[in-house]
Amino acid sequence: MSAPEAGSARSRAGQKCTVALTHPDRLYWPDAGVTKQGLADYYAAIWPRIAPFIVDRPLALLRCPEGIDGPRFFQKNGWKGMNAHIRTLDDPATGTAEHLIGIHDLDGLMGLVQSAVLEIHPWGAACRDWERPDQLVMDLDPGEGVAWERVIDAARDVGERLEASGLTPYVKTSGGKGLHVVAPLKPEADWETVKAFSRTLAQTMAADRPDRYIATITKAKRHGKILLDYLRNQRGATSVAPYSTRARAGAPVSMPLSWDELGQITGSAQFTVNNALTRLTALRADPWAAFHTARRPIQP
């Protein structure tokens, strides 16, 4: 009889998109009323901003074929029958032994939507130089009982210390519980150097304020403290992309913020697929506009 109802993304900014969506009315976030089509429309609108963070870099993907309440698969490797717009990448260190995942264009992103990818987690390095990260991420993970204001304080603390090291820090919600402070890097130092730098930063902060921070993942000691998770900065590690959706209640997104507005943010899941575009339209300037021109080398 008739073919399954197919939708497509309303792309903007002159981007062509040819990927047909099957089952566009499938609810991915039932509580927030966000469908597959809604996800495609969100990503099509956000494409110019998200592209530099997800194109041509290895990606780990959280796939939820039945939406956030169904089974979930965290995938770092290509799968059988993968959408043709999603590309496999060969890690130069392992060759063709392992097929990593990447996208090149808006069709690739729509391929991810069609494949029920609800979270996009890139590496901190681009494929043009796998061995030299172009960003540093400090992932702030509040333990139980930590007030949101303390997470904001911690982000500012990380930001000030990165600035003192000659880097330009940016802050975003994770869309979960914490905040991410991200510094764009000139891809000069290798993974070992960037990891050691971020470890020293975390350990110094934990030594200065042992009442507030810990730098090692020891669950028992986490209560009331913020884990400074520096391990996003090692080869093969990932963190959620700016503007990526999260497979959590309310359809939250990881939202880039300005340092000035950080004090008014009420929680990590404040921005969602349902309010993100209104926010971005209302903002006079992209708070991360200078991210890609603010790259500085890490001083070992």
Task: Name the residues that contact ligand ATP, by CB under 6 A.
Answer: 60, 74, 121, 139, 141, 174, 176-178, 229, 238-240, 268
Q: Binders of Mn ion: how many residues, by CB under 5 A? A: 4
* d(C-alpha 13, C-alpha 145), whole Å: 44
- The partner in contact with residue 132, picked from ligand ATP, Mn ion, none with C-beta cut-offs of 5 to 8 angstroms by kind, is none
CB of 239 to ligand ATP, least distance (A): 4
- The partner in contact with residue 198, picked from Mn ion, ligand ATP, none with C-beta cut-offs of 5 to 8 angstroms by kind, is none
CB of 121 to ligand ATP, least distance (A): 4
- The partner in contact with residue 87, picked from ligand ATP, Mn ion, none with C-beta cut-offs of 5 to 8 angstroms by kind, is none
CB of 13 to ligand ATP, least distance (A): 27
Under the binding rule (CB under 5 A), the answer on residue 134 touching Mn ion is no
Q: Phi and psi dihedrals of 198, rounded to 5?
A: -70, -35
Q: Which stretch binds Mn ion (CB under 5 A): 7-15, 48-56, 229-237, 260-268?
A: 229-237
CB of 237 to Mn ion, least distance (A): 10
3-state percent breakdown (helix, strand, coil) of the chain, nearest 5: 30, 20, 50
- The partner in contact with residue 41, picked from ligand ATP, Mn ion, none with C-beta cut-offs of 5 to 8 angstroms by kind, is none
Helices (H) and strands (E) in the chain, counts: 5, 15
CB of 62 to ligand ATP, least distance (A): 6
* d(C-alpha 110, C-alpha 20), whole Å: 8
Residue 113 or 269 having the CB closest to Mn ion: 269
Q: Taking CA 298 as the corner, what is the angle to CA 203 and CA 268, rounded to the nearest 5 degrees?
A: 60
- Which helix (DSSP H) or strand (DSSP E) does residue 173 occupy? strand 170-173
Residue 21 or 227 having the CB closest to ligand ATP: 227
Task: State both tokens at 219.
Answer: 């669950």
CB of 179 to ligand ATP, least distance (A): 7
- The partner in contact with residue 244, picked from ligand ATP, Mn ion, none with C-beta cut-offs of 5 to 8 angstroms by kind, is none
DSSP E strands, 17-85: 21-22, 27-29, 34-35, 59-63, 73-75
* d(C-alpha 89, C-alpha 99), whole Å: 6
CB of 173 to Mn ion, least distance (A): 10
* 55 three-class SS: strand
* d(C-alpha 238, C-alpha 299), whole Å: 23
Task: Please state, in angstroms and as integers, the Cα–Cα distance from residue 22 to each residue in 35, 113, 115, 158, following that order.
Answer: 12, 10, 10, 44
By beta-carbon distance, which residue lies closest to ligand ATP?
176
Under the binding rule (CB under 5 A), the answer on residue 119 touching Mn ion is no
Q: Position 67: which residue type?
A: G
Residue 35 or 245 having the CB closest to ligand ATP: 245
Under the binding rule (CB under 5 A), the answer on residue 142 touching Mn ion is no
Footprint of Mn ion (CB under 5 A): 139, 141, 178, 229
